[in-house]
Amino acid sequence: MRIAVYASNHKDTIIIKSGIDEFKAYKHQHPILSSFHSIWDLVIHDHPLDAIFIQVDKDNKRPIEIAQKYKHRHRHTQIIFFSDHPFFMKESYEIKVLDFLVKPFSRSKILRLLNEIYLDWHYLNQHSIIVRIDEYSQRLPYRHIVYIESLKHQIIYHLYNGKTITAWGSLSDLEQSLSSDNRFIKCHRSYIINVEYFTKIGEGTLTLMNTIEIPISRKRYGEIKNMIIISSSL
């Protein structure tokens, strides 16, 4: 896990660091910890982090605004604000933070949050893919992907909520990356489907979510049908 801390008060950094050290011993994990001396460092930090602890002062909303921009670029990052006052608590939850801590906070509270971050990190690493989209990256849980389409050297991820994400890449390379997960099947040279959303199969197409029709290779119809049956039963 990659964790960062922005705090103007060195004592707060020490409390968070001691909680991380205790977490290391408890979980036998070794999170990489970074410290930001300025909230502006977060603006130029291009590598996705798994969690960030950010201090917020009651007379300065800028850390929340910068965290919101960072969250837009790296949506899987967990953000924890901490402050002497709950002044911006409502605004912070609008960007879906993990928690807003009002000081003083204890190491046990930090340990609880680290455990939540770890569980989320572990699940996502086992059941997700990181997609690089221009200036930001996004971790896509497998369960959110309905199907994947290849079009003119671009990969289009079609998600369960109707949204799409487009990135540069090769469907063959992606097929190799997803080969360890039985829910994904390449049914056509331009399509990979998630069998969790499978509804029915016909001679030339298969249907996802009752309405989405995807072409399938006629030569591989029997093979694909058997693969769907096996994958759906797992």
In the chain, the N- to C-terminal Cα span, in Å, equals 30
Mean pLDDT of 160-164: 87
**Look-up: residue for tokens 């911006």?**
88
Least confident of 44-48, 69-73, 202-206, 214-218: 44-48
Matching CATH number, 2-128, of 3.40.449.10, 3.50.50.60, 3.40.50.1370, 3.40.50.2300: 3.40.50.2300
Per-residue pLDDT tens digits for 66-100: 988 888 777 778 999 999 888 888 888 888 899 99
Can you give the chain as a three-state secondary structure string?
CEEEEECCCHHHHHHHHHHHHHHHHHHCCCCEEEEECCCCHHHHCCCCCCEEEEECECCECHHHHHHHHHHHHECCCEEEEEECCCCCHHHHHCCCCCEEEECCCCHHHHHHHHHHHHHHHHHHHHCEEEEEECCEEEEEEHHHEEEEEEECCEEEEEECCCCEEEEECCHHHHHHHCCCCCCEEEEECCEEEEHHHEEEECCCEEEECCCEEEECCCCCHHHHHHHHHHHHHC
Q: Rounded to whole angstroms, how far apart are CA atoms 81 and 88?
A: 9
pLDDT level of residue 158 (50, 70, 90 thresholds): very high
- Cα–Cα–Cα angle for 43, 83, 139, rounded to 5 degrees: 40
**Residue 217 tokens, joined:** 């290779």
Least confident of 80-89, 151-160, 216-225: 216-225
Domain 144-233 has CATH 3.90.25.10: no
pLDDT at 234: 58
List, in order, residues 6 or more apart from 193 with CB less than 8 Å away.
146, 147, 148, 184, 185, 187, 206, 208, 214
Percent of the chain exceeding pLDDT 70 equals 97
pLDDT level of residue 212 (50, 70, 90 thresholds): very high
Query: What is each CA distance from 200 to 70, 114, 179, 207, in whole angstroms?
Result: 41, 42, 22, 5
Per-residue pLDDT tens digits for 124-146: 777 888 888 777 778 788 888 99
Q: What residue spans in the chain does CATH classification 3.40.50.2300 cover?
A: 2-128
Per-residue pLDDT tens digits for 163-211: 899 998 889 999 988 888 888 999 999 999 999 899 888 888 999 988 9
**Residue 85 tokens, joined:** 């006052």
Phi, then psi, of 76 in degrees rounded to 5: -85, -10
Q: What residue spans in the chain does CATH classification 2.40.50.1020 cover?
A: 144-233
Query: What is each CA distance from 52 to 21, 44, 58, 70, 118, in whole angstroms?
Result: 16, 15, 19, 10, 13
Mean pLDDT of 49-53: 90
Question: How many CB atoms neighbour CB 4 within 10 A?
Answer: 20
121 residue type, one letter: W
Least confident of 45-54, 57-66, 97-106, 181-190: 45-54
